[in-house]
Structure 1
Amino acid sequence: MPQKLTNLEERAIRLLLKHEKKGMVKRVKEFAKDRWTRRLIPLIREVKLDPIRGAPCLSCEYEHICGREGKIKPENCPKLESWVLESYRSSLKKSSKR
């Protein structure tokens, strides 16, 4: 007779199914320890922070008032614009050296 799932197990199963639908994990059927089971395989790869390393936003004194509805907007921020242009120039130099 199957055991009743606990509330925690039910939530874990719902989260698993949700992540599976979003393509974040997949279940693979395999035989382990004399029984069939399903192993979870993560499909999301490691996120690289190199592209945003050095961005001025993380240490900006105006970060608390910056945003789409804020007094300062990313669209017209001179610090962000300067950093983007410098990053672009740097990437052009790297690609031309190859």
Structure 2
Amino acid sequence: MKLNEAQIEDLTGKVFRTIVSNGKGGILQSELWKELDLTSRDGSRVAIRLERRALIRREKMLENGRWTYKLFATKLPIDTSSVENAPCLTCPVEHMCSLDGSYSPITCNLIEDWLVLSLNMANQQRRQQEQHQNHHQAPASETEEEDPAK
């Protein structure tokens, strides 16, 4: 089935959003085609179109003995999550706040509480990721014992 220009643009947007959602790590072309149910031909055409627009870069690489491309977004959206809940954004005295004023970020309890909470949450997420990684990695001694050839 031949795609019309509107369908190609829609597909181009979907492909680009998928590449961006994979972040700095990028995505293999073959994984992207499977995820979006595309033929290799259509997918390659869209990737080349995005590359010509300088929205992505394609890096040739050897994967499982076959040459393929890994696709990366040239620019990723800025992550604002670290400042989204900053108390300054909703502070009723923000307009009077200054380093040498009676309201100062140096002595602000709201900022201090927000920083402590943010650090605690970041540490908790890091610990959970470490536990998840440790849980899914088999120790070398276990894999050696399971090998009946030894």
TM-score for both structures, normalised by structure 2? 0.35
More strand by share: 1
Note the C-alpha offset of 1:45.
Answer: 5.5
- Report the equivalent of 2:114: 83
The two structures, once aligned, show a CA RMSD in angstroms of: 2.3
Gaps of 5+ in 2: 1-53, 55-73, 130-150
1:47 aligns with 2:78: yes
User: What is the alpha-carbon distance in structure 2 between the residues aligned to residue 78 and residue 70 of structure 1?
Assistant: 15
- Report the equivalent of 2:47: none
Which residue type is aligned with residue 78 of structure 2? V
- Kindly, what percent of the aligned residue pairs are identical? 25
Q: How does 1:1-98 map to 2 (within 5 A)?
A: 46-98=77-129
What is the DSSP-based 3-state SS (H/G/I as helix, E as strand, rest coil) of the residue aligned with 1:75? coil
Which residue type is aligned with residue 55 of structure 1? A
- Report the equivalent of 1:32: none
Which residue type is aligned with residue 79 of structure 1? L
User: What is the alpha-carbon distance in structure 2 between the residues aligned to residue 44 and residue 76 of structure 1?
Assistant: 37
User: What is the alpha-carbon distance in structure 1 between the residues aligned to residue 102 and residue 82 of structure 2?
Assistant: 26
User: What is the alpha-carbon distance in structure 2 between the residues aligned to residue 88 and residue 65 of structure 1?
Assistant: 27
Q: Could you give the per-residue CA deviations for residues 42-77 of structure 1, whole angstroms, max 9, x where no partner exists?
A: x87532211101111010011011111322111110
Gaps of 5+ in 1: 1-40
More helix by share: 2
- Highest relative contact order (Cα 8 Å, sep 6+), 1 or 2? 2
User: What is the alpha-carbon distance in structure 2 between the residues aligned to residue 44 and residue 66 of structure 1?
Assistant: 35
Which residue type is aligned with residue 65 of structure 1? M
Number of aligned positions between the proteins:
60
